[in-house]
Amino acid sequence: MTTTTTDFAIPNPRKARVPEGFAQSATWLVTVVFVIGPLLPLLYASFRDRPLYEHGGVFTIAPYRTLFSDPAFWRAVENTLAFASLTTAIAVVGGASIAILCARTDLPGRRVLGWLTLAPIALPPLGVLLGWIVIWGPGGYLATMVSLHLHMSAIDLTSIPGMAIIGGTGSLPIVFLICQASLARTDASLEDAARSAGARPYRVLLGITVPMLRPAALNAGMLVFTLAAETLGIPLLLGRSHNTNFVSSYLYSTWTDASSPDPGSVSAGAIVLLVFASALLILRNRLLGSESRFVAVSARTGAHHPLRLGRVRHVFAFGIVLYLVLTTLLPLLGLAVMSGVAILTPLRAPWHFLTADNYQALRYSVFRHSITNSVTIALIGGALTTALISLATLVAHRSRFRLRRSLQFAVLYPRAIPGIVLGMGFFWAYLLFDPPGHFLLSSFWGILLAFSVHCFTLAYLVLYPAMGRISGSLDQAARAAGAGWWRTSTRIVLALMWPAIFAAFLLVFVAILNDYEPALFLVKPGNEVIGVTMLQLFEQGTIGPVSALAMVQLAATIVIALAAARLLRANLRRGNA
Amino acid sequence: MPEIRVDRLTKSFSNLRVLNEVTFNVNEGEFFTLLGPSGCGKSTTLMSIAGFLEPEGGAIVCGDQTFVDRERGISLPAEARNLGIVFQSYAVWPHMTVFQNVAFPLRVRRLKRAELRERVTSALELVEMGDYGHRYPHELSGGQQQRVALARSLVYSPSVLLLDEPFSNLDAKLRERARRWLKDLQLELALTTIFVTHDQDEALAMSDRVLVMREGNVLQIDTPENVYRRPADRFVAEFVGQCNFLEGTIERSDASSALVMLRGAPNVLEIQTGGLAIGSAVTIAVRPESIAVVPDGRESELPNTYTARVRAGSFLGDHYQYELLAEMGEISMASSTPITTETVHIQIPPAACSIVERAGSNTTSPEVVPV
C-alpha cells in the first residue's frame, strides 16, 4: 500500500475453515432438534393405545378420553387453577407494591430492601421449600411453637392457600424485577407533573404510578401464573397428606404410584399441560408487544424526587422487613439449623442436639453419587448449553441465515415447557430412538440433555442482551477486512463478550444443579441427581441429611450467582467502553 | 485503483423506497462524495457497495469484478470484495491492541510473520500512530482511534476506500485537521475513495466530485464548484449553502442567455442560460455573497440592478449579513463592508444566476449528468 511495500502482492483472504452455511445450518438443526425432539414422541405416545415400549399399537384418542373422564384429573385442574390464581395474586400485589415503594418513595433503606426482595430469585426453590416445611409445615418448628404458646393454629401449609403463600412469596421477586424495570423505564416527570398540579403523594401513587404499572404487572402476572400452573415440588411434598394433587403431581403420581400405570393418558395430560403453558406464553408475547406501544418511554430523568410518605414510611419499611424475615430468612435459618441438629423441636433448645452427622451422612453412596452426578452434569451441560446457545444467538442475531427468526423462538420456547413434560418427552424419545436412546436412558447423559434443553432460555436471556451491546459495525469491519462469518463471530463478537459467556455458563451451571423436574422420569439407580434424591428422601423422612445437602446446594448457588453477577457487570463496562 | 460503476441501484425497506435507480461512476483515484440529509440513502448506497446490504435491483461493478448484479444473480459477500471501510464509530475492536487491530486483515490473508510486522508498522507510521501499537483502543482519543481504523482499512491494499461519516465524532478543530490530513493521504496514495457525509463544508472541501441525494434520488453529480455555483435543483441550492430564490417568466431567450421578468420587479433580469421557452415560469437561485452593492449613480450603467430597503443586518466576523426588501421580495445578501444607508442599489451578476426550477417540472426531476 505504501511506497515501501508495493513490491509484495497481498494474497486473497483464505477460505473459511468452517463454511458459513454449514455452521449456521448445523447450529439451527441441533437447537431445533433438541427442542422439538422430545415433544413429538410425547405427542405420538398420547395417541397410541398402548405404551411405546410394547410392540404393536394403533392410533387412538382413548388416552384423552381416559384422562378427561377421570374425576381426579378434574380435581387436580381445579386445585391447579385455584393455586395459580392465589399465587399470582399474592406475587403481583406484593411485588408491585414493594417495587413502587422502593422506586418512587422515600422509604427508609429502599435500596437495600429492594435488593433483599430480589435476592431470593437466585435461591434453589427446592431448598427454600424444604426450609418452609421445616419451619411452618405440619409439625414444623414455629408452627408447633405458635400452637403451643398461643393456643391457635398457624397457617396450614398443606391447604391450597397455604401452598399459595409459598408459591406467591417464591414468585414475588419475579414480579418485583419486572415492575422495577418498568418503573425505571417510565419517565418520573409524569408523576412530578401530577405533584405540580397539586396532587398529594398517595393520590399520585394511586392515580398515576399504579395505572402506569398495569402493563408490567399484567406481564409479570401471566408469567407467574404459567410457572405456578406447572409447579411440582409444592404439591408433591405438601399435598399428599390430604391427597391434594395439581396437574403436574397428578401426572407424576399416576405414572409412578398407580397399580396399573397408563402412560398413554399421562402423556395426554402432559400434552394438555404443554398446550396450556404454550398458549399462555403466546398470549403474553402478544400483550408484551402491545405494552411497548402504550408505555411512555423517554430518556431517563436524572434526579428524581421521591414521594414523601410521611411517618407511615417506617411502618411500610417494617412490613417489608417482617415479610423478608418470615418468608426468606426464617426458612433458610430453619434449614441451616435443621442440618446441624439431630432433632428440631420447640420443646428443647436446638443446641442440645447439635451434631455433624447430617453432613457426615453425605458420604453415603446415594448422596455421593447424586452430588458427583449433579456436578458433572452441571459442568458438561453448562458448557455445552452455553456453547450451543452462543452459536444459536449468533445465528439468530448476527447472520443472514434464512431461518434465523425461528431459532429465536426455539431457544425461548423451552421456558414454556413444564419440566415434568420435558422429562416425559425425553423419556419417550429415548425409548423410540435406540441407539442412542438406551445408552442415554441408562447413563446420566440422558438427564444432562433434558436439563440442558430446560436451560436454553436462561442462557439466551443472558447472552442476547450482551451480544446486542456489541455494535454491528465491529463485525462489519471484520467482514470488510476479509474475515468470513465464522472467523468474525469467534474472533470478534464472541471474543468481546466472554465475560457474559462465562456468566451464562455459571448461571446455567447453577440452574442445572438446582433443577430436578425433568429428571423425575429419567432417574434410575446409578444416575441419581441432587434434586430428585432430596425430594425422594425428604418424602421418606430423611430430613436431616437432606437439609445438609440443601445447605450445600444453597451455598454453592449463592457463591456462583454472585460471581456471575460480577462478570455481567464487567461485561457491561466492556460494552460501554 | 479501479473505477466503480453503480448502475440503477434500488432498495426498499418495508415498502419505503430508499434507493431509486441510483446510478453513478467513480473514476480511478477520485475522491467521490455522497452528500445529503440523513435518510437520503447515502449510507444505504455505501453499505450496498460494501456488501452489508443487499439491493433489490441494479448492479455494482468495481474494475473487472462484479460485486452485485441482481439480473445475473451475482452477489459477492462483503469479505470477498477487498474494500477498506472506516465506520462512523470507527469500529476499532476494543479487545485487541492497535497492532492486533491492524494485523487482523493480514492474518486473515495468512501473511508471513515478518512481512505482516513490516506492513502493520508501515501502515501505522503512515497514519502517524507508529508508537501506539501496544495500546488498547480505550487508551486512545477519538482522533487516534480514527487513524487506527484507517490504518486497518488500508493495510491490505484494498481496491477502494469507503468512508462513512468518519469525522462526525470529532470536535470542530480536530475535524478540520483530520480532513486535511486525510485528503493529503488520499492524494499521496491515489486512493479511489467514496465518502459519505451530511456536512456540505466537508463535501466541498475534500471532493473531486460530489453527488447530492434526496429521498433515494440522485439530484446532481458535479465538481464542488459547480454544485455550489450552478445547482441543478432547488433542493441542492438550499442544502449546499444559503440561497435566494427569485421567481419570474422568460421574456426573451437566445442560445446562450435569456431575460427574465421577475415577479414584482420593474426591470428584467439577464441570465446566462439559453434555449428557454418564452413565457415559461422559472425559479432562479442566487447566492447571498454574489450580490453586490452598486455605488450611487452607477446603477444605470450595470445590468440587473435593483433598489432595496435594508430591513436587518448583523455582523458575523468575516462579513456582514443583510436582509433586504427589494421589489421582487426578500433578499439576503452578504457583504464585506457595512451598509450605512437605509436604501441601497444592488446588482445580481448574470453569471451568478442559475435556473433551479422550470414550469412543468418540479424539484424531484433531476438532471443526472452522465460522467
Q: Which of B94, B156, B162 sits opposite A482 (nearest CB)?
A: B156
Given a cut of 50, is residue B282 above it in pLDDT? yes
Determine the Cα–Cα distance for residues A174 and A179; give it in Å rounded to an integer: 9
Q: What is the pLDDT of residue B362?
A: 40
Considering only CB atoms, which chain A residues are within 8 Å of B156?
1, 10, 481-482
Total-model pTM: 0.82
What value, to the nearest 5°, has the Cα angle with vertex B294 and ends B293 and B296?
Answer: 125
Given a cut of 60, is residue B361 above it in pLDDT? no
What is the residue extent of each domain of chain B? 4-235, 243-358
Given a cut of 50, is residue B364 above it in pLDDT? no
Q: What is the pLDDT of residue A182?
A: 85
DSSP type of residue A299:
P
Q: What is the pLDDT of residue A297?
A: 41
Q: What is the pLDDT of residue A145?
A: 83
Measured between CA atoms, the residue of chain A closest to residue B139 is: A577
Residues 438-477 of A with CB under 8 A from B: 471, 473-474, 476-477
Contact by Cβ (8 Å): A411, A455? no
Given a cut of 60, is residue A303 above it in pLDDT? no
Phi, psi dihedrals of residue B115, rounded to the nearest 5°? -70, -40
Averaged over A32-60, what is the pLDDT? 87
Interface test with A, best of B1, B86, B89, B108 (most A CBs within 10 A): B108
* Alpha carbon distances (Å) from A500 to A452, B245, B246: 18, 58, 62
Given a cut of 90, is residue A168 above it in pLDDT? yes
* Alpha-carbon gap: A570 to the closest alpha carbon of chain B (Å): 13
Q: What is the pLDDT of residue A304?
A: 63
What value, to the nearest 5°, has the Cα angle with vertex A433 and ends A40 and A515?
Answer: 65
Are B138 and A577 inside 8 Å of each other by CB? yes
Q: Which residues contact A66 (CB under 8 A, 6 or more apart)?
A: A262, A264, A265, A268
| Coil, strand or helix at B197 | strand
Q: What is the pLDDT of residue A116?
A: 92
Determine the Cα–Cα distance for residues A575 and A568; give it in Å rounded to an integer: 10
Given a cut of 90, is residue A317 above it in pLDDT? yes
Given a cut of 90, is residue A247 above it in pLDDT? yes
CATH topology of domain A61-297: MetI-like fold (1.10.3720)
- How far is the first Cα of chain B from the last one, in angstroms, to the nearest whole number? 18
Are A479 and B153 inside 8 Å of each other by CB? no
Given a cut of 80, is residue B77 above it in pLDDT? yes
Q: What is the pLDDT of residue A258?
A: 67
Q: How confident is the model at residue A561 (pLDDT cuts 50, 70, 90)?
A: confident
Given a cut of 90, is residue B36 above it in pLDDT? yes
Q: What is the pLDDT of residue A7?
A: 44
Q: What is the pLDDT of residue B366?
A: 39
Q: What is the pLDDT of residue A167?
A: 94
Determine the Cα–Cα distance for residues B68 and B88; give it in Å rounded to an integer: 24
Considering only CB atoms, which chain A residues are within 8 Å of B162?
480
Q: What is the pLDDT of residue A573?
A: 63
Given a cut of 80, is residue A323 above it in pLDDT? yes
Contact by Cβ (8 Å): A157, A136? yes
Contact by Cβ (8 Å): A467, A493? yes
Residues 35-64 of B with CB under 8 A from A: 50-52
> Considering the domain A19-38+356-577, what is its CATH architecture?
Orthogonal Bundle (1.10)
Q: Which of A8, A482, A495 sits opposite B95 (nearest CB)?
A: A495
Q: Which grid cell sits at A415? A: 421456558
Q: Which residues contact A15 (CB under 8 A, 6 or more apart)?
A: none
What are the tens digits of pLDDT across the range A79-128? 999 999 999 999 999 999 999 999 888 889 888 999 999 888 888 888 89
What are the tens digits of pLDDT across the range B331-348? 999 998 888 888 999 999
Q: How confident is the model at residue A575 (pLDDT cuts 50, 70, 90)?
A: low
Q: Identify the sign of the CA torsion B165, B166, B168, B173.
A: negative
What are the tens digits of pLDDT across the range B252-277? 888 888 999 988 888 889 998 888 88
The Cβ of residue A455 has, within 10 Å, a number of other Cβ atoms equal to 27
Measured between CA atoms, the residue of chain A closest to residue B159 is: A1
Are B81 and A480 inside 8 Å of each other by CB? yes
Averaged over B117-136, what is the pLDDT? 92
**Facing residues of B214 across strands?**
B217
Considering only CB atoms, which chain A residues are within 8 Å of B123?
1-2
Interface test with B, best of A476, A489, A490, A492 (most B CBs within 10 A): A476
Q: Which grid cell sits at A20? A: 458459513
* Alpha-carbon gap: A393 to the closest alpha carbon of chain B (Å): 19
Are A481 and B153 inside 8 Å of each other by CB? yes
Are A477 and B93 inside 8 Å of each other by CB? yes
Determine the Cα–Cα distance for residues B213 and A343; give it in Å rounded to an integer: 83
> Considering the domain B4-235, what is its CATH architecture?
3-Layer(aba) Sandwich (3.40)
Q: What is the pLDDT of residue A300?
A: 45
Residue where the block lists cell 386445585 = A79
Could you check whether the bond before residue A11 is cis, i.e. omega within 30 degrees of 0?
no
What are the tens digits of pLDDT across the range A505-520? 999 999 999 999 999 9
What are the tens digits of pLDDT across the range B285-301? 999 999 999 888 887 88
Q: What is the pLDDT of residue A290?
A: 55
Element (H, E) at B206: helix B200-206
Determine the Cα–Cα distance for residues A425 and A152; give it in Å rounded to an integer: 46
Q: Which grid cell sits at B306? A: 435593483
- The rounded mean pLDDT for chain A is 86
Given a cut of 50, is residue B205 above it in pLDDT? yes
What are the tens digits of pLDDT across the range A169-211? 999 999 999 898 888 877 777 777 777 777 877 888 888 888 8
Residues 214-253 of B with CB under 8 A from A: none
Instruction: Provide the CB-side half-sphere exposure for A84 (13 A, CA).
Output: 25
Q: Which grid cell sits at A303? A: 434526579
What are the tens digits of pLDDT across the range A471-495? 889 999 999 999 989 999 999 999 9
Q: What is the pLDDT of residue A301?
A: 44
ipTM: 0.77
| A243 torsion bin: left (phi>0), alpha (psi -120 to 50), beta (else) | left
* Alpha-carbon gap: A26 to the closest alpha carbon of chain B (Å): 20
Determine the Cα–Cα distance for residues A185 and A208; give it in Å rounded to an integer: 15
* Alpha-carbon gap: A12 to the closest alpha carbon of chain B (Å): 6
Q: What is the pLDDT of residue A289?
A: 63
Proportion of chain B above pLDDT 90, given as a percent: 52
Q: What is the pLDDT of residue A29?
A: 95
Is the CB of A576 inside 8 Å of chain B's CB atoms?
Answer: no
Strand B31-35 relative to strand B193-197: parallel, antiparallel, unpaired? Answer: parallel
Q: How confident is the model at residue B367 (pLDDT cuts 50, 70, 90)?
A: very low
Is the CB of A573 inside 8 Å of chain B's CB atoms?
Answer: no
Q: Identify the sign of the CA torsion A149, A153, A158, A160.
A: negative
Averaged over A238-267, what is the pLDDT? 85
* Alpha carbon distances (Å) from A341 to A237, A337, A542, B34: 22, 6, 13, 79
Determine the Cα–Cα distance for residues A127 and A557; give it in Å rounded to an integer: 11
Given a cut of 70, is residue A43 above it in pLDDT? yes
Proportion of chain A above pLDDT 70, given as a percent: 94
Residue where the block lists cell 491490505 = B156
Determine the Cα–Cα distance for residues B272 and B270; give it in Å rounded to an integer: 7
Determine the Cα–Cα distance for residues A202 and A182; give it in Å rounded to an integer: 20
- Between A267 and A18, the more confident residue is A267
Phi, psi dihedrals of residue B320, rounded to the nearest 5°? -105, 145
Residue where the block lists cell 450496498 = B48
Is the CB of A378 inside 8 Å of chain B's CB atoms?
Answer: no
Q: What is the pLDDT of residue B370?
A: 38
Is the CB of B82 inside 8 Å of chain A's CB atoms?
Answer: yes
What are the tens digits of pLDDT across the range B209-229? 999 999 999 999 999 999 998
Given a cut of 50, is residue A461 above it in pLDDT? yes
Numbered ranges of CATH 1.10.3720.10 in chain A: 19-38+356-577, 61-297
Are A482 and B105 inside 8 Å of each other by CB? yes
Q: What is the pLDDT of residue A3?
A: 41
Q: What is the pLDDT of residue A405?
A: 87
Given a cut of 70, is residue B1 above it in pLDDT? no
Are A480 and B189 inside 8 Å of each other by CB? no
Q: What is the pLDDT of residue B298?
A: 82
**Facing residues of B194 across strands?**
B32, B162
Interface test with B, best of A3, A4, A5 (most B CBs within 10 A): A5
